[in-house]
Amino acid sequence: MTTHSGPADRDPAAHLAPGQMGRPDGLAGGPADDSVDGWIDRWTGRASLRAIVGGMGADRPVRPLAEVLDELSAEFAKTAAEHDRTGVFPVANARRLHEEGILGLTVPREYGGAGAGLATAVQVLAAIGKGEPSTALVLAMNLMFHGRARDWASWPPGVYERVATSCLTEGALTNLLRGEPDLGTPARGGIPATTARWNGRCWELTGHKVYSTGAPVLSWMLVWAATEPASDPAPPPSGYPRVGWFLVPADTPGITILRTWDHLGMRATESHDVVFDEVRLAPEAAVLLGDPGAPDAAARQAEATVRAAGWSALTIAAVYLGVAEAARDWLIRYLHERVPTNLGRPLAALPRFQNVVGQIEVRLTNARTLLDACARDVDAGHELAGRRADGVKAAVTEAAIGAVGDAVALIGNPGLTRANPLERHYRDVLCSRIHTPQDDVVYGTAGRAALGL
């Protein structure tokens, strides 16, 4: 069990001060470079990420993004098995992503970031997912959060800016904490049991969150909670509690991380339980609160969901597509190297193996094409793309699970031994279908729409 603690009487407003939010694990970096603005155009012109973002390593040679991603993917792959075994998040990987300017890739330009869109984010996540998927999932949450920054436009002034600045300068990571032990996933409706009580001066947050990816390395936790109606200074007319998001600096006293994450796959994500015990927060920590009983609440929720769907569904899909691509690459190498004495040639020479590798290749190429196209459409603002993103997530994860499953079935014991990475890829890729949106919701929604119901 890890406890973040400190003086109980610490001024809650100080928790939102810049410079307070870095984690004591070395995820710190230099100041942002003014030349960040517009870097993405130069990058497409083959300028160096490292030279432009964060002002780090400007002396190093100019390299295209694809080359940087290949290097990071290969580097992260070297320790992936060890992190899977220990279940410890690879902090060094996050530091490398920060050094390369990738953590802040989707921070909007007006906040000093690169302003990269979803199409770039999925390219990055598939590459990092291929190397080490737990790193990629933590990165996905951070890129998604900043990529949706216009959803945070109504936050109290200056608050998002502080989070963005901490990401760019210190490598601060943010994630959304929604699921709860009793409610389960909020994707199917319901009101959180996590409660914010207004004590006349600050909020006191109490509750329990599950599956909090990257919990020990986060700087900011965006916690889904409900206000306590009796103490709420702005009680909604409907009589419901206000429900929404509280921005919690992860080093605030009263936060306990319960190291509960011991899953089949994605073991190094450290997606632990997080308990909040009267965690005191500045008034502006209540960044986004709505009245679920208000007449326009459903419409506003629907609009936000369409906008968010593209980012949440496709970033998740990209991580697991990367896992499947790693499995395919390993299989191809294995089929070239394995020469059974009874055959006298590599397994790759047999039509049976060529056929299955071909099926895997076509599946994953189609998935990649679909993912990239939908991400570009979301970037272009096509509302339909936002609506279709859930279906694309379902199709891409189905392809990814199918491809790794076919690889395992094809080669027998070598696919099941822990001596080879394929069994790890298989465990990891199975987690893809659990993430919101789950297939029954995707297909049920699509079915009702097609039937006009």
DSSP string across 155-172 = SSTTHHHHHHHHHHHH--
Taking contact as CB under 6 A, which single stretch among the options 82-90, 175-183, 279-287, 354-362 is the one that binds ligand FAD? 175-183
What is the smallest separation between the CB atom of 222 and ligand FAD, expressed in angstroms? 10
Q: What is the contact mask toward ligand FAD in residues 107 to 146, using x (rule: CB under 6 A)? A: ----------------------------------x-----
Q: What is the contact mask toward ligand FAD in residues 257 to 286, using x (rule: CB under 6 A)? A: ---------x--x-x---------------
Q: Report the site for ligand FAD in 2-41 (rule: CB under 6 A).
A: none
Binding residues for ligand FAD, rule CB under 6 A, total 21
Taking contact as CB under 6 A, which single stretch among the options 4-12, 185-193, 297-305, 392-400 is the one that binds ligand FAD? 185-193
What is the smallest separation between the CB atom of 435 and ligand FAD, expressed in angstroms? 5
- According to the binding rule CB under 6 A, does residue 434 interact with ligand FAD? yes
- According to the binding rule CB under 6 A, does residue 431 interact with ligand FAD? yes
Query: Which amino acid is present at 153?
Result: A
Cβ proximity to ligand FAD: between 186 and 290 the closer is 186
Taking contact as CB under 6 A, which single stretch among the options 280-288, 384-392, 417-425, 434-442 is the one that binds ligand FAD? 434-442
Cβ proximity to ligand FAD: between 189 and 344 the closer is 189
Per CB under 6 A, the list member of 43, 211, 240, 320 interacting with ligand FAD is 211
What is the smallest separation between the CB atom of 56 and ligand FAD, expressed in angstroms? 28
What is the smallest separation between the CB atom of 316 and ligand FAD, expressed in angstroms? 8
Cβ proximity to ligand FAD: between 133 and 386 the closer is 133
- According to the binding rule CB under 6 A, does residue 178 interact with ligand FAD? yes
Per CB under 6 A, the list member of 48, 175, 194, 397 interacting with ligand FAD is 175
- According to the binding rule CB under 6 A, does residue 426 interact with ligand FAD? no
Cβ proximity to ligand FAD: between 175 and 219 the closer is 175
| Interacting residue ranges for ligand FAD, rule: CB under 6 A | 141, 175-179, 184-185, 187-188, 211-213, 266, 269, 271, 431, 434-436, 438
